[in-house]
Structure 1
Amino acid sequence: MSVSRATGADPDTLVVSGWSAASPYGLGAAAFAAGVREDRDAVRPGDRDLGPYERAGLLPDFDIRRVLGRKGTRAMDRATAIAVATVGMLLEEAGPGLAADRPEAVGMVLGTGHGSVQSIMDFTRDSLTGEKPYHVDPAAFPNTVMNRAAGQSAIWHTLRGPNTTLAGGAPTGLLTLSYAARLLRRGHCEAVLCGAVEEFSAERAWLEYRARTGSAHRQPAGPLGEGCALFLLEPYGRALAHGRTAHASLLSCRFTAFHDPEDAPRAVTRAVTEALKDASVEPGEVALLVPSDTGGPLGAREDAALGAVFGESGPPRLRLRRLIGDTSAASASLQLAAAVCVPDGRRRPVLITSVDPDGQTGAVVLRTGNP
């Protein structure tokens, strides 16, 4: 293992050297960080169709053409626009040299729930209600494909490295971080933008509501949110060479599954203990917990598992869902963003956990600050 003479750190350590977010607090990392640090509620009544809900965590005043311009946005769906805008903000923070010199060296791993639910349902409805099944808008078809946001973001910003779309429920954001780490460690690229996006639509709201209603094991129906959080993951040595600061080091990722909802605490406990072991971090060293905060029986089981590992008087827990709503596939990425922006610059481990009612759990350990 080589060690940097300037820092004493391993230059191959994977670090988050940049991040940005589009959230109900507004566009950009600064807006998100301010909202989280102030513990500000961003869920409010909307001026659009919210489906079965009265309140939602919506991006304030997000107009696609105003944010991205008129060119190339006529048929762009909301999820794609949010992702493209967030990538642009992250690249601006990282500096113009990130993708300009060797665009093939920069990959992208973007998570999503289903892609744009509204686009899928609108296109399907048009094919059923039109005079002919093929009397549909061909320009709208790309929005029905799950990897639309990732592909369009790469095209828009000239990222020519590996491009991957993942869908894994609530832990999707943690999965993208793990996938990005494997791409880097196996030499498929030199840097990766990773994270997840979710749009709000009345169509998604109704699907979420119907999926939860009548199920004793799913989290209760509640306000939904939307947003995107993206991270620049790269080796520490590369970040230093390009003048970027490490916000956090990736120590470990662990994922488990459960079939019976009653087994969720066991799955969460296993993911957490194995992640801590892989990171060589003792439970008493963890300074902050960022759980998925799903509420209902599932949320109680996640809390019980964390209580079993850390004790009821363990590290403080940052609960994001109550502030911005349920952002579904984007929730874990926004949890990661909260974990990165809340600490005060000291080097300390933080743990992010996620659990999905379909049986997926995940745990990621980061160490904030420089390696």
Structure 2
Amino acid sequence: MELKRVVVTGLGALTPIGNTKDEFWEGLIGGKSGAAPITYYDTEKFKTKFACEVKNFNATDFLDRKEARKMDKFAQYAMVAADEAIGDADLDLDKVDKLRVGVIWGAGIGGLETFQTEVLNFAQGDGSPRFNPFFIPKMIADIAPANISIKHGFMGPNYTTVSACASSANAIFDALNSIRLGHCDVVVTGGSEAAVTIAGMGGFNAMHALSTRNESPETASRPFDGTRDGFVLGEGAGALVLEEYEHAKARGAKIYAEVAGGGLSSDAHHMTAPHPEGIGVIAVMKNCLENAGLKPEDVDHINTHGTSTPLGDVAELKAISNVFGSHAKNININSTKSMTGHLLGAAGAIEAISVILAMEHGIVPPTINHTTVDENIDPELNLTLNKAQKRDVKVAMSNTFGFGGHNACVLFKKID
């Protein structure tokens, strides 16, 4: 069976550094930090008092007030980003065969704020189980793609991938395969997360996973820097419209890039820590290259998982050196988490959007906040430090890894 070609025809982003794909891109190229003191709750007793929140967002600017009240913030974010991507793709919803349009979405946690609110309300009550009737449908992770499909009438495959921080990269790979195999003509894919809550921040603090650089939040996310002390929690959503190539051509769609391939692997090592030698990461990048039919020397740019943790950053760069050999020093490597923070289940989607836009504009966003050399990192690697760099990017890779050892990798290339 000959696999169908798959292209990207629409993008949408709602992030801590921009509430549309264009604003997101401007923030990336400008080296803008999305980190700031948390505004959602009193942080006095928390170890970490800052995060990368989505700013100036009001759900009712985009959604009917009654509908917005039925959605957790992570689902609201999903709806807004998906609508932007669908509009960007210029899909004629009256002509498209909706039985062949799917929605495959990623979320590592789902409706955490809803879960937190309902449980706290119960605990503070008299013991009577007076739960909101929308508690469960607001909380469950699969409700985001469900809401997208209900709004637009898309009747193809509809589900959520949950693989921690690899979730939306996993969703993109699943969407790719759904079209490759002929099951769909179009898939709206991506991911969303809204875990900047007392439960989210408290839980990650208890794991010692978060930066505690409270005196300078805007510089706290510093991947590859010798003084990094943990990741900065972010929130938001990224959405992509993937489409079968001939289907896109027939309707005269703008094509951003081709989805060349993807890969999945497991570290099979530890609940939260990466394998120190990056064995699972080596495997996923090799899997991805093989799946795409590309060679290591074809890759111009890698947006790393690069969370700004002491162990993870080193392991990933070791893996890149292993897979790409001497070509590794010719690749523009970066981590956009230095600006957006870590969006958990939405990370893979917005980072995929970043590499696609890097190809379109011929410029690679920087890894900001780097001031101190880490002696464990190869100094010959080009980590695109502190300033965007012009580059004709023909092939770009996006890496995303999750707690539990889940690894996902997606490759994009300029359309032939």
TM over 0.5: yes
1:208 equivalent to 2:204? Answer: yes
Contact 1:99/1:106 (CA < 8 Å) preserved in 2?
Answer: no
5 Å-filtered alignment, 1:190-201, equals 190-199=185-194, 200-201=196-197
| C-alpha displacement of 1:188 | 2.8
Contact 2:13/2:81 (CA < 8 Å) preserved in 1?
Answer: yes
1:63 equivalent to 2:70? Answer: no
| C-alpha displacement of 1:290 | 0.7
CA distance in structure 1 between the aligned counterparts of 2:94 and 2:190, rounded to whole angstroms: 18
| C-alpha displacement of 1:37 | 1.9
* Match among 92, 107, 129 for residue 124 of structure 2: 129
- Taking a change above 3 Å as real, the CA distance of residues 158 and 302 of structure 1, as seen in their structure-2 partners, is same
RMSD: 2.3
* Match among 360, 363, 366 for residue 409 of structure 2: 363
CA distance in structure 2 between the aligned counterparts of 1:57 and 1:91, rounded to whole angstroms: 26
Residues 209-230 of structure 1: per-residue CA shift (max 9 Å, x gap):
223459xxxx954321111111
Contact 2:169/2:409 (CA < 8 Å) preserved in 1?
Answer: yes
| C-alpha displacement of 1:100 | 5.5
CA distance in structure 1 between the aligned counterparts of 2:277 and 2:347, rounded to whole angstroms: 18
Aligned to 1:229: 238
| C-alpha displacement of 1:105 | 2.2
* Greater mean alpha carbon deviation, residues 169-178 or residues 69-78: 69-78
Contact 2:358/2:393 (CA < 8 Å) preserved in 1?
Answer: no
* Greater mean alpha carbon deviation, residues 202-211 or residues 324-333: 202-211
* Match among 104, 109, 124 for residue 114 of structure 1: 109
Residues 272-311 of structure 1: per-residue CA shift (max 9 Å, x gap):
1232233232222211011100232122101111122234
CA distance in structure 1 between the aligned counterparts of 2:47 and 2:254, rounded to whole angstroms: 44
Contact 2:301/2:393 (CA < 8 Å) preserved in 1?
Answer: no
Residues 321-349 of structure 1: per-residue CA shift (max 9 Å, x gap):
11111111111111101101112366711
| C-alpha displacement of 1:29 | 1.1
- Taking a change above 3 Å as real, the CA distance of residues 52 and 61 of structure 1, as seen in their structure-2 partners, is farther
Give secondary structure in 1 for the equivalent of 2:207.
Answer: helix
Aligned to 2:17: 25
- The amino acid across from 2:348 in the alignment is A
Contact 1:298/1:357 (CA < 8 Å) preserved in 2?
Answer: no
Aligned to 1:288: 301
Compute the TM-score of the two structures, normalised by the length of structure 1: 0.89
Aligned to 1:246: 255
* Greater mean alpha carbon deviation, residues 205-214 or residues 353-362: 205-214
- Taking a change above 3 Å as real, the CA distance of residues 358 and 212 of structure 1, as seen in their structure-2 partners, is farther
* Match among 320, 324, 336 for residue 340 of structure 2: 324
* Greater mean alpha carbon deviation, residues 138-147 or residues 233-242: 138-147
Aligned to 2:400: 354
Give secondary structure in 2 for the equivalent of 1:293.
Answer: coil
Structure 2, unaligned stretches of length 5 or more?
Answer: 211-227, 363-391
| C-alpha displacement of 1:256 | 1.2
- Taking a change above 3 Å as real, the CA distance of residues 98 and 156 of structure 1, as seen in their structure-2 partners, is closer
CA distance in structure 1 between the aligned counterparts of 2:65 and 2:107, rounded to whole angstroms: 25
- The amino acid across from 1:258 in the alignment is D
Q: What percent of counterpart residues are identical? A: 20
Structure 1, unaligned stretches of length 5 or more?
Answer: 3-9
CA distance in structure 2 between the aligned counterparts of 1:15 and 1:135, rounded to whole angstroms: 48
* Match among 288, 312, 315 for residue 301 of structure 1: 315
- Taking a change above 3 Å as real, the CA distance of residues 182 and 279 of structure 1, as seen in their structure-2 partners, is closer
CA distance in structure 2 between the aligned counterparts of 1:117 and 1:16, rounded to whole angstroms: 30
- The amino acid across from 1:239 in the alignment is A
Residues 158-177 of structure 1: per-residue CA shift (max 9 Å, x gap):
32222111110122122101
Contact 2:115/2:135 (CA < 8 Å) preserved in 1?
Answer: no
Give secondary structure in 1 for the equivalent of 2:103.
Answer: strand
Structure ranking higher in helix proportion: 1
| C-alpha displacement of 1:124 | 2.4
Equivalent pairs, count: 358
